[in-house]
Structure formats: structure tokens, C-alpha cells
Structure 1
Amino acid sequence: MVALWTLFAASTFLLYWIYDGYGRFLHLAVTVRNLTGHAGRKPQESEEGQGTSDPGKLPSITALLTVHNEQDTVERTLRNLLACDYPPDRLRIVVASDGSTDATNSIVQEMHHPQIALFTSPGLGKTATQNMAVRDIESDILLFVDADISFEPQFLKSVARSFAAPEVGAVDGRLLYPSRGGSAEVEGQGFYWKYELRLRDLESRLGILAVMTGACMSIRRELFVEMDPSIGEDCIVPLDIVQQGYRVIHATSAQAVDRFEDGLGVTLRRRIRMTLRNWQGTWTRPSLLNPFRYPRIAFALWSHKLLRWLSPVFLLCAVAASLAMVILSPSLITLAAFAPYATLLGMAGCGWIASRAGRRIPMTGTAFTFLLANIAFLVGVLGAIRGQRIRSYRNV
């Protein structure tokens, strides 16, 4: 029984740390730094108004939009970027079309816009296409964007001002998902994403952020390192930035808008793909996971990423250990240990049934999405360990 209690307690603690404790610890660390006066001026403050407003001093930006058969969205995205409040002579957009067979290329060409250039590749995959396109980009800032994102008018200026601090090597935009109702999966994803943004903001303030969103992230062009074609840009670019001694910050005012993909199958496949590529990408930079070489970054990466992807293992251990204790030694204590997990599984089951019926039951959507995410984490990690490779992302 001692072994079962130990397994149960350790697994439960790790689950709490991953999904609540780590965030509380970061909040406490930020509060202590602010109270003791050791935080100093945060790099984020430069984009909140400390950066230059002189158009001639703003850095040049090239937005890299990598697409495959995006005829329905490409023009809207391009016009949205062009409508941002930024000097036209400081903004260039490169549309990297990877093996598009629809009207994507012709739509871009027919715009005849001096700030837009079309780059084509023969179906190499998203990351390989990005590697080729970046070779011809010479601007100060390289901005990675997706075709289904809408940018707020001040997005580009917020990004530019974030780079006023010389120690900043990359800026993570704040991707928002407006609440518009939807399925149980959408409800749960919204809860998860709010926590994710909270972690990024706190890690950014502490100077330990090493995570970015590929749909709206930017880096200093000279810091770009050519990427493994089987790993996504958001999986390794922030790691390369911190490994070169620069900081990654989360710019809260650099806002972009997306919508959650609805549907159980779509959600599951996306999470599996993201987990697989992120796991592989993170382990290609093993020194950053070494607490003796990069203690602060390693702490953040293990707490924010790796332990989260391993959470299905801890969940299975906690459920199995608590159930075994109930069977071997039934008592109020062992029942109390098993009850939270039984409740979680029951609520997740109700959430699945409600999702299939097209209905919503309060809180069950979050429980169902939590369980769905852990299934995806498990499948993704196992796929990564087996050496599975994915050379495309979304439509590319």
C-alpha cells in the first residue's frame, strides 16, 4: 500500500503542478520581484509606449505568409496586414506558396501590390518552404503569420516597439479566440488557452519564456537558424533565440484573432500533430533542458511543456493507484483519493455524450477537452518516440 500511496501522491502533485501550481508559482515569483524592486523595467514595457514612434526609426518588417491552397483566405489576410498602421516603406509581405494547385498564386499576382512578393515551391512542406523563402529576406524583423489570422491595426507597431530593447530577440504575439459559443470542445479549448496565455505573460515578465505561437511570432532576422523540415517553426525558433542569449517576450498589445477549429476529429488530430512536432523539436535542443546549463529556462520548459505532454502518464498512474487502493483496502480515505478522478472521468463521459448530441452541459466540456488533450498528448509523444515525422502543418 505504501508504494500505491507514493505513486498516487506523486502523480497527483505533478498533475496539480502542471495545470495550476506552476501558474501560481510564477505569479508569486513576479509579485515578489515587484515588491523587492529587483524586476527592473520589463522588456514588454517598450512596446507599451517606450519604443520609438518616429516612422523613420521603426524597423523594417517582412511578414512571411506560408500557404497551400488558400484561395479563400489569402487576399483577406494580405489586405488585413496592409491595413495595419505601419509605414508602407517599412513593410513587405512574402507569400510563400507551397505547391498550391488552386487560385492562390493568381490571386496574389493579380493584386499587383508593390509590398507583396510571391515565392513558390514544389510541395516541399511548410518548414522547408519557409527555409527557402527566408534566404531572400533582408529586413530587420521577420514575422511569421498564418492565412486564417486577423491582425489588430496596431499589431505591427506593437511588435516593432517590443524590439526596442536590445536583449529581445523574439516577440510572441497575443493570439485571441473570441468566445462565440460552439461545441463542448470549443468551450474547453477556451479555458485551456486562457491558462496558456497567463503562463506566457508571467514567464515573459520573469525572462524565462521559450514558447511562441507560429501564427503571429516575430524574430530578429539575423537570429534565424535554418529549421529541420520535419519540425514546425514555433517548436524550435524560440529555443534557438534563447540559446543565442536573447529573450523571448509575450507582447500583450500585439493582438491577433483566430477561431477554434470545431469538431472532435479535427481537435484531436491537431493536438496530436502539435504534440508530436513540439516534443521532437524540444529534444533537438537538449542543452536547454539541462538545469545545470540553463537552470531558469530548463525549469520553464519542463514545467510548461514536457511535463504537460507527459500528464497522461501521471493521470493513468493516479487513477490506477487510487482504484487499486479502493479495491485492496476500501475505506473513506481511499475512496476520497479515488473520488476526484472518478468525478473527472464521469464528467468527461457526460461531455462526450453531450458533444455527440450537439448539447452543452456546464463544466463537462472542460473535463472532456482535458481528457481529449491527454489522449492526444499520449498519442503524440508515442509517435515522436517511434520516430514518426510530419512535414506539413494545417494545409501545408
Structure 2
Amino acid sequence: MSWLYTISGGIVLFSLVGYGLLWIVLARLFGRSRPHPGTPVRATMLIAARNEGADIADKLRSVLAQDLGGHALEILVVSDGSEDDTAAQVRALDVAGVRLLELPAHEGKAAALNAGLGAIDGDRVVIFSDANALLRPGALARLLAPFGDPSVGGSIGQLEIAARGGFLGRADRLFWRYDNALKRAEDRLGGTVSAQGTLYAVRRFLVGTVPPDMADDLVISLGVVARGYRLAYAPGAVAVEPVTGRTGAELARRVRSTERGWRGLMAHAGLMNPARSGLYAVQLFCHKALRRLVAFVLPVLLMANIALVAGGDAGWLTWSTLVLQLAVHGLGLGAWALPALRRVPGASVAVLFTMGHAAMAAGVLRAMSGRRSAKWTPVRDVPARAVPVALAIPATNRKRGK
């Protein structure tokens, strides 16, 4: 049983801490920064919106307030059969460079993206961004800067969780700070693994048809690498997004995200072959595959740990890891079920850890069993306007006569 404890513990430790620390250290020792020439590009921001009437106007204002640094930008909003005033909000803004495409029925996010992509010229850069994510000043100029390098096929922005993100937001902010540091390290060692849908940009000719049953941000990213291009990380290209405070809704979102992400990862499993992709293969496996598979290793570690202690074959390390696991899982499950326990220090981290791994296990199993999630229905219980960013529209963006 000790061998099972050692192996499972090593896998968990490497996945949660070891890979990130190793890559950050390697980046400091052997990585290099990649200066990008300031070549102006023509870009289109594509926003797929489903019942985003509460947020879409603020989203567009945060984009229109950007200093583009010489880049040319248009905005295309695709309303996916919205049943609220999403389309009316876009029309009411009435500014130059904003287009609206309305799908008559709810077809899903992939259909909305594909409809929008069909209306974008092949020589442009496509900026993808969630409808409720507001942009910090200078975000788009920094996001587009890497495209001066012809080897760059995509550029990945930096996600920031809004300070008013509720109970889960506190833990989510810690996770994304770590993940952003990891993306920076991966970039210095050659290229970042994949985008997160909040804010990223890709050369239009590298984007194919988005599959309806896969995570669009992941498969678009993997498609860029499969074509021989690099994904650059653009620190300072910050998009701020609120998170739901409802644990049930967040669990469902994470299950769906993992299911679709795993299916997309398996569709590009060849990229995890070092003979084909080199160092990127290691990064992709550790950052995407192992991070999800560790959800199945955690219960093995706990059972092996309990067996060692029950059998009397336990030293201080074995006892310590058992106490730590019971504390994290116990607090996570307890605070998940009982809101009163959420005041306990570290409760948000414990809940996110427990819920996150439960969702990853469920999502992988759903993908492997062939089950498909329902159509995309965004959860928006925290308004984007809670995020303090610049929303003023420059006079140059207003249509004549306005």
C-alpha cells in the first residue's frame, strides 16, 4: 500500500504544485522575453451573446474606450437567439465600427461564433471575448502587439477576477494569479498552451469551423499550434470578469467546461506527442490533461493514506498528509453545503478545490461516455458593471450627427 500512496501522492503534488514551480524556475533560468515589433493590424472583436442585455452595453463601452495604439478595430456582436434586449442595447449604442448579427433562434455558442467568423475577412485578426468581461485600459493594444511576429498565430490575454466576485471569487482570484504566472513562464519557454475564453486573439485564417461539442477556446488554440504557429501570452491585456456566487451554478459550468474541454483535447491528442510537438507536448499534457486526471488520483491517495494509518504503518508524513486531506475535503464539502461555514478562513479555497476536482471527474466521465451538454446558457448573477473600468466612448467613435 505504501507504493500506491507514494505514486499517487507524487502525481498529485507534481500536478498541483510541482509543474508550475518547475516551469517558473526553468523560465527564469533559460527563458527569454520576446520583443514584438509594433506592426499595426486590422482586427475584429467577435462577441457571441445570449441574453446579455444587462452587460453588453458596458462591454462595448469598455472596448470603445481603448487606446488601440495604431491598430484598426471593428466589433461584431452575434446575438444567439437572445430573448431579452441584447440586440436593442447594441443598436441603441449607435457608434461607428459596431456591427450586429442576429440569429433567429438559439443555436448555441459554436453556431454564433461560426456565423460571426463567416462575416470576417481572412486577413484580419479575430479577437474573442466574453460578453460580460470588461477590458482594462490598454488591453487591446497589448493583446495585438505580438502579431508583429510572423511566428505568432494567437495572443492570450490575462484574466482578472472581479473583486466583487463573491465567496468563490476569492479563491478563483488566487488560482488565476497562479495560472497567469504559469502562462508567462510557458511563453518565455516557447509558447503558451492555450487561451481562456475571456480574451484572446487569433489570425483569422488559422480558425476553422468551431465544433459544437468542444470548448471553443481550447480547440481554436490547439488548431493554431497544429498549424505550426505559436501562442503568445500578452501580460497587461487584462479582462476583468465577475464569477457567480452560486455554487450549484458554478459546479454545472465547470462540469460542462471540462466535458467539452476533454473532448477537444482528445481530438488533438497527437499534440501531446513530444516527437511531433516537442516541449509543447509536455506542457499540454501537464497543464491540461494531468490537471484533470488528478481528480481521479485524489481519492486513491486518500484511501491509500487511510489504509496505511489504519494498518499502523504510518510516520509523521503519512499522518500529516491524512490530516491535511481530511481537513481540505471536510471543510470543502461542509462549506459547500452549509453557508455558515464559509466564514472559516480558507473555506473558499477548500470549496473551490473540492468542487473543482469533482467537476473535472464528472466532466471527463461525461466526455468518455459520449454524453453531450445542453446548449450554452450563460449564468449572470453578478453584473459586469460591478467591475470598475473606463467606459467612456471617445467622440471619434460616435456616428456623425450624434
User: Deviation at 1:292?
Assistant: 2.4
Tell me the amino acid that sits aligned with residue 165 of structure 1: D
Structure-1 separation of matches of 2:198 and 2:90: 20
Structure-2 separation of matches of 1:74 and 1:180: 19
User: Deviation at 1:60?
Assistant: 1.0
Identify the match of residue 107 of structure 1 among 73, 80, 89: 89
Identify the match of residue 17 of structure 2 among 15, 20, 39: 20
Tell me the amino acid that sits aligned with residue 10 of structure 2: F
Identify the match of residue 8 of structure 1 among 5, 10, 15: 5
SS of the equivalent of 1:310 reads helix
Q: Which residue of 2 aligns with 1:234?
A: 217
Pair 1:117-2:114 in alignment = no
Q: What percentage of aligned pairs have identical amino acids?
A: 29
Q: Which residue of 2 aligns with 1:337?
A: 318
SS of the equivalent of 1:195 reads helix
Identify the match of residue 93 of structure 1 among 59, 75, 78: 75
Pair 1:145-2:129 in alignment = yes
Pair 1:349-2:330 in alignment = yes
SS of the equivalent of 1:293 reads helix
Query: Unpaired segments of 5 or more residues in structure 2?
Result: 380-402
1:98–1:124 contact (8 Å) kept in structure 2: yes
User: Deviation at 1:324?
Assistant: 1.6
Tell me the amino acid that sits aligned with residue 73 of structure 1: D
User: Deviation at 1:89?
Assistant: 8.3
Q: Please report the TM-score for the alignment, with normalisation by the length of structure 1.
A: 0.89
Tell me the amino acid that sits aligned with residue 366 of structure 1: V
The one-character-per-residue Cα deviations of 1:195-246 (angstroms, maximum 9, x if unpaired) are 2112111111111422111121101112111121111221211101111111
Structure-1 separation of matches of 2:299 and 2:328: 17
Identify the match of residue 346 of structure 2 among 342, 363, 378: 363
Aligned residues: 375
User: Deviation at 1:319?
Assistant: 0.9
1:227–1:233 contact (8 Å) kept in structure 2: yes
1:323–1:338 contact (8 Å) kept in structure 2: no
Pair 1:158-2:139 in alignment = no
What aligned pairs does 1:139-218 form with structure 2 within 5 A after superposition?
140-180=124-164, 182-183=166-167, 185-218=168-201
> Structure 2 vs 1, CA of residues 177 and 221 (structure 1 numbering), >3 Å: closer, same or farther?
same
Identify the match of residue 288 of structure 2 among 281, 286, 305: 305
Identify the match of residue 290 of structure 1 among 273, 279, 284: 273
2:51–2:85 contact (8 Å) kept in structure 1: yes
What aligned pairs does 1:377-392 form with structure 2 within 5 A after superposition?
377-390=360-373, 392=375
Greater CA deviation, 240-249 or 316-325?
316-325
Structure-2 separation of matches of 1:169 and 1:384: 28
Structure-2 separation of matches of 1:358 and 1:96: 42
Structure-2 separation of matches of 1:220 and 1:29: 29
SS of the equivalent of 2:202 reads strand
RMSD in angstroms over aligned alpha carbons?
2.0
User: Deviation at 1:149?
Assistant: 0.9
Q: Which residue of 1 aligns with 2:203?
A: 220
Tell me the amino acid that sits aligned with residue 249 of structure 2: V
SS of the equivalent of 2:210 reads coil
SS of the equivalent of 2:375 reads coil
Tell me the amino acid that sits aligned with residue 217 of structure 1: Y
Greater CA deviation, 174-183 or 5-14?
174-183
What aligned pairs does 1:117-136 form with structure 2 within 5 A after superposition?
117-121=99-103, 122-136=105-119
> Structure 2 vs 1, CA of residues 102 and 226 (structure 1 numbering), >3 Å: closer, same or farther?
same
Q: Which residue of 1 aligns with 2:299?
A: 316
> Structure 2 vs 1, CA of residues 79 and 194 (structure 1 numbering), >3 Å: closer, same or farther?
same
Structure-2 separation of matches of 1:338 and 1:264: 31
Tell me the amino acid that sits aligned with residue 250 of structure 1: Y
The one-character-per-residue Cα deviations of 1:7-32 (angstroms, maximum 9, x if unpaired) are 11111111111111001211221122
Q: Please report the TM-score for the alignment, with normalisation by the length of structure 2.
A: 0.88
1:174–1:256 contact (8 Å) kept in structure 2: yes
Pair 1:83-2:83 in alignment = no
2:55–2:131 contact (8 Å) kept in structure 1: yes
Q: Which residue of 2 aligns with 1:263?
A: 246
Q: Which residue of 1 aligns with 2:50?
A: 68
Structure-1 separation of matches of 2:334 and 2:365: 27
User: Deviation at 1:104?
Assistant: 1.2
Tell me the amino acid that sits aligned with residue 103 of structure 1: D
The one-character-per-residue Cα deviations of 1:267-302 (angstroms, maximum 9, x if unpaired) are 211211111111011111121022222231210111
2:332–2:351 contact (8 Å) kept in structure 1: yes
Structure-2 separation of matches of 1:151 and 1:298: 31
1:127–1:391 contact (8 Å) kept in structure 2: no
SS of the equivalent of 1:142 reads strand
SS of the equivalent of 1:124 reads coil
